[in-house]
Structure 1
Amino acid sequence: MRPHGLHWRQESKRRLPLMQNARWTCLAATASLYPQNNAHRLMLDRITASLPSLAPAEQRVARLVLADPRAFARQPVRELAERAHVSKPTVVRFCRSMGYDGLADFKLKLAGSVSEGVPFIHRSVDTDDKTSDVMVKVVDNAVAAFLQYRNAASTTAIEQAAQAIASTWQTGRRIEFYGAGNSGIVAQDAQHKFFRLGVTSLATSDGHMQVMSATLLGPGDCAVIISNSGRTRDLMDAADIARKNGATTIAITASGSPLASACHIHLAADHPEGYDRYSPMVSRLLHLLVIDVLATCVALRIGPALQPALEQMKNNLRAKRYT
């Protein structure tokens, strides 16, 4: 996604040194350089993508946000309910449907994105780019995606997912990670992180294995399904089977996708990179970041019970290194 009305000159053609380029792009990624209708696109895009899955009354609230985000962030719940022709609880329900703690949390995030400008620069690499240009663009794309996630992520959804996985650990049940293609590599990384926390876990990127694995899940188990587009048939099948068998399903995928709607918990991983890229970069890094956040939250919930095992693991690994 590129900001409308914002044109980037090629740094290589401007003959600016690398440090000056980096300084300019860093400032552009953090300052409020965007028009009013573009500064908060990420949050509004998520609301737009979620419209079809909302109840009719909540859709009216969503359209009120999209029509005038600044006014929505300022007005009290009574006025918002009157303008949308809904009840006050419906306004709150809409905010929670979008993954926020409530109206106050939603308005705080909305006001912040409107006033400060959420960074969402995504710059394509051109054939005549120098190595210095490529480095700056690739790094800036990743940083912008991380900052977008930090500003828009639902802490409620993260807490729900962390609690579900911590409960799985406490009861000795299983957690399965499913991904296809590039997301399959992320699933393997997730399994590597969580098995070190003592969670019985498995990662698979094979569609047949995912179906068989999901069939063996039951109440108390967790299935974490990772997908860039949220539209992969094999992953949808596995999520459906796991949910029908009573397992808690957690999706790390794009907002408004079929997979996001099919799972109990949705951890939004939205970014401007196209889903049809031959070699996706930003999406993979963003998914890894979400896994890191989730693993850290789970580790904090498990607490002191982990320390003896982690200390023993560290001691056993010392023999593997040269002194």
Structure 2
Amino acid sequence: MLDRIRASITSLARAEQRVAKLVLSDPRVFANTPISELADRAYVSKPTVVRFCRSMGYDGLSDFKLKLAGSVSEGVPFIHRNVDADDSTSDVLVKVVDNAVAAFLKYRNDASTIAIERAAEALAATHKTGRRVEFYGAGNSGIVAQDAQHKFFRLGVSTVAYSDGHMQVMSATLLGPGDCVVVISNSGRTRDLMDACDIARKNDATTIVITATGSPLASAGQIHLAADHPEGYERYSPMVSRLLHLMIIDVLATTVALRIGGGRLQPLLREMKNNLRTKRYA
């Protein structure tokens, strides 16, 4: 987060640059200082402080402070280290685990809560009206789509997952207003997924995309949930991206479950667990 501010400082307006320098001078103090005092210290207005936070891609001062506090707290550094051919088993273990943890923490600090809320509201609204929620993915992302279908199915949502390009295009053709499709892609450049997303959007279905910022798919969907990480998936299978996408699905499923409400959902989940007990050995 601090590296991003340093890299962006020259492109900011002069007043916002003063706010950026204030952040970099002591991030921990900035995260715990009221906006009026921050404005005074930077010799800017309070709206300028908020504009700076939004210029950096955050939803406002509160969101910026929350992510800033997390990024400067003690713990795992946000570093991605590639696995090398001569690494020992212990090196591989540490690098793979650290890469996953670092990606999770980076997402926690960078994610747009506004985008997540928009996606959760769209999915909850689709469930409320009894319309369809569909998940599309290819390759590793197809597995994530199946996991998403399983999680939302348990919430009583009418949902299906497709990993075949032809099925995605055919199903997207049948979607309409009130339906919702979630397209998952690591690269954001898979042609079948782009085609299905375009068809669904033309049919007035809500399109949510979980993919890398700046990719064609990111701009094709109505709601973009950014999943950015430094993984070199050209060398190895995209492990971190799959875990990151699974975590985003978990966040979505949890926020949607809260919007559905526990009045009917909790008894349904309890009954489901009771019915599954006969499938296990005592």
Name the TM tier (shorter chain).
0.7 to 0.9
Partner residue of 1:282 out of 240, 243, 268: 240
- C-alpha change, 1:107 and 1:139, in structure 2 (3 Å) is closer
Partner of 2:271: 312
Question: What CA RMSD, in Å, does the superposition of the two structures yield over aligned residues?
Answer: 3.3
| 1:70 aligned residue | 21
TM superposition shift of 1:69: 3.5
> Equivalences for 1:73-222 in 2 at 5 Å?
76=39, 92=51, 95=54, 98=57, 100-102=58-60, 104-105=61-62, 107-108=64-65, 111-112=68-69, 119-222=77-180
Q: Is the 8 A contact 1:214 1:242 kept in 2?
A: yes
Q: CA deviation at 1:79?
A: 7.4
Measured in 1, the distance between the counterparts of 2:51 and 2:232 equals 32
- TM-score, normalized by length of structure 2? 0.81
Give the unaligned 5+ runs of structure 2. 25-29, 31-37
* 1:152, distance to aligned residue in structure 2 (A): 1.0
Q: CA deviation at 1:70?
A: 3.1
Residue equivalent to 1:270: 228
TM-aligned CA deviation for residue 179 of structure 1: 0.6
Q: Distance in 1 between matches of 2:19 and 2:141?
A: 36
Sequence identity, in percent? 66
After superposition, the C-alpha distances for 1:39-63 in whole angstroms (9 at most, x for unaligned) are: 6346788x89xxxxxxxxxxx6589
Counterpart selection for 1:247 from 199, 205, 223: 205
User: Is the Cα contact below 8 Å between 2:120 and 2:256 reproduced in 1?
Assistant: yes
CA contact (8 A) 1:227 1:252 kept: yes
The answer as to whether partners of 1:273 and 1:283 remain within 8 angstroms in 2 is yes
Say which SS state the counterpart of residue 319 (structure 1) adopts: helix
Structure 1 residue ranges without an equivalent (≥5):
1-38, 49-59, 82-87
The one-letter amino acid of 1:234's match is D
What is residue 27 of structure 2 aligned with on the other side? none
- Assess if the C-alpha contact under 8 Å between 1:162 and 1:297 holds in 2: yes
Across the two proteins, how many residue pairs are aligned to each other?
Answer: 265
Answer yes or no: is the 8 Å Cα contact 1:109–1:152 preserved in 2: no
The aligned amino acid for 1:172 is G
